[in-house]
Chains A and B, each alone.
Chain A
């Protein structure tokens, strides 16, 4: 489309696109800036604040005063652990449904998805009481189980949509060439399935990292991840803008960076394959 105005149009679009992007990104940019200022400067007017000296003292203070790494490790263990557990359960299921579909496979998939539609609050009371009676409140293992189950339907679905796209002709071809079932799985299917599994892993870690209903309700201290750590700033004492900014930056940085790598999978995973 060679149009006279296209060069001008591109420049105008660039201006608008960058303005919108900066507007949307601004709150994140702002807390990163605030996190490198002192508490006193952080509450000054924006221009005074920006010209104030930069410092990493706030980070040191947050790390010294709170058990940031304790929360961080809980987040890592919960997000990665629940994702791996969900994958362990979901890979065989998705594999069987994609490669050996039966007459009821579709109903089964839809039913799995329907469990995801159930609002957490509908089962909150019994879960809380069950956890209390089983001594699972504020334990990592309890929360690991819940997060695994919460995300299991999404994991099965994502894997299913990826496995479904592996061409089955390739299996027939390798069978003709005399490949055994074992080598078929090992050398033909697995390499083709790895990218799908990796995408699923990435997206699910993000979802589990940011999960903020069960992690807030079922933990207090020992098993509390970063979502709960940040929530503790809702009743602060004294000046806390710089500290909240530093803590927030540390809480979201790993996952925002992971997220940037998984944009494409995000669309597909969160729409259960309905938009690709």
Chain B
């Protein structure tokens, strides 16, 4: 008797969230899809018309497109490699007993809370600057020529900056997972004569698999849309050396005013992100049953 009533009530409680998210997802995405098939340049807004897949063709055959795909893969891959391996090593270290655990944890997690524009500018100016940066001072002190990081290794520099922001995240999640490890099992294995490496490979690593997968998937989602770090440091340059797909869409639509081609790029970005998302959703969905 209460069920019909309470079911109506819960529907009422859920609907605002559902309706808003539906609007948020469908309206702009439908518009992007529509624009992507239109000739639409903000500098010449009168000249519009249906062009089919021309915008996609134009965007994909643009010389910068494949560079941007490669840069995106290098950025996401580079940051993932550094943060996952670094994160595992750090988590294993911090999981041991040592003095001052609270303070160390606080210092390690801090970069994650630094806003992207701050970390990008601080690294660019105070550390990587070839004249006054910290690295330049150190290089001169030991008799080396200072290296202009953002001019000669721009993508690697941005990977370093972004990895610095995400290493704490990976470490924290892996550490949390490590702490739920079954100690008795470890001790039993130790008594049975398993050495440190064997215990790590056969006990710790399988236990961490899930956390590692989650780290990779969630970071990929965020890393695919890295934007502020590129905007304030290199503006996608020199040339297109640090232009990622996200950044190329921004350049195409808001700097070149070509809404049609920019939208086509946006749709391509959505498709790529969704491929990653499907795996992530499957992981989290599994957890929902447990």
A residues in contact (CB < 8 Å) with B = 1, 6, 9-11, 13-14, 16-18, 20-22, 24-25, 27-28, 30-31, 34, 43, 45-46, 89-90, 92-93, 95-97, 99-100, 102, 106, 108-110, 112-130, 149, 152-153, 156, 206, 209-210, 212-213, 216-217, 226-228, 230-231, 233-234, 240-241, 244-245, 248, 251-252, 255-256, 258-260, 263-264, 266-267, 270-276
Please give me the residue from chain B that is nearest to A118 by CB atom. B270
Would you call B110 and A274 a contact (CB within 8 A)?
A: no
Would you call A212 and B117 a contact (CB within 8 A)?
A: yes
List 19 A-B pairs, Cβ < 8 Å.
A21-B103, A24-B108, A25-B107, A117-B221, A121-B266, A125-B253, A126-B27, A152-B17, A153-B21, A210-B113, A213-B228, A230-B115, A231-B117, A231-B231, A234-B117, A234-B121, A234-B233, A248-B121, A270-B218
Contact partner, A117, options B31, B107, B127, B274, Cβ 8 Å: B274
Would you call A93 and B134 a contact (CB within 8 A)?
A: no
In the bound complex, what is the Cα–Cα distance between A241 and B122 (angstroms)? 9
Q: Which of B57-65, B73-81, B197-205, B277-285 contacts A (4 or more CB under 8 A)?
A: B277-285
Would you call B98 and A90 a contact (CB within 8 A)?
A: no
Would you call B273 and A119 a contact (CB within 8 A)?
A: yes
In the bound complex, what is the Cα–Cα distance between A270 and B109 (angstroms)? 14
- CB-CB under 8 A from B140, the residues of chain A are 45
Would you call B126 and A245 a contact (CB within 8 A)?
A: yes
In the bound complex, what is the Cα–Cα distance between A96 and B231 (angstroms)? 42
Q: Is the interface of B mostly helix, strand, loop or mixed?
A: helix
- CB-CB under 8 A from A130, the residues of chain B are 28, 31
Task: With both chains docked as a complex, state the minimum distance between the C-beta of B19 and any C-beta of chain A, in angstroms.
Answer: 10
Would you call B112 and A13 a contact (CB within 8 A)?
A: no
Would you call A117 and B273 a contact (CB within 8 A)?
A: yes
Please give me the residue from chain B that is nearest to A258 by CB atom. B113
- CB-CB under 8 A from A28, the residues of chain B are 110-111, 114
- CB-CB under 8 A from B210, the residues of chain A are 274-275
- CB-CB under 8 A from A258, the residues of chain B are 113
Q: Is the interface of A mostly helix, strand, loop or mixed?
A: helix
In the bound complex, what is the Cα–Cα distance between A238 and B202 (angstroms)? 57
- CB-CB under 8 A from A102, the residues of chain B are 7, 10
Would you call B21 and A241 a contact (CB within 8 A)?
A: no
Given A149-B24, A230-B118: A119 touches B99 (CB 8 Å cut-off): no
In the bound complex, what is the Cα–Cα distance between A93 and B253 (angstroms)? 36
Assess whether B56 is interfacial by the CB under 8 Å rule. Answer: no
In the bound complex, what is the Cα–Cα distance between A110 and B271 (angstroms)? 18
Contact partner, B118, options A97, A110, A112, A248, Cβ 8 Å: A248
Would you call B259 and A125 a contact (CB within 8 A)?
A: yes
Would you call B115 and A109 a contact (CB within 8 A)?
A: no
Please give me the residue from chain A that is nearest to B17 by CB atom. A93
Would you call B16 and A89 a contact (CB within 8 A)?
A: yes
Assess whether B105 is interfacial by the CB under 8 Å rule. Answer: yes
Contact partner, A276, options B93, B176, B259, Cβ 8 Å: B176
Would you call B112 and A20 a contact (CB within 8 A)?
A: no
- CB-CB under 8 A from A18, the residues of chain B are 100, 104
Would you call A93 and B16 a contact (CB within 8 A)?
A: yes
- CB-CB under 8 A from B154, the residues of chain A are none
Would you call A124 and B96 a contact (CB within 8 A)?
A: no
Contact partner, A274, options B24, B100, B132, B214, Cβ 8 Å: B214
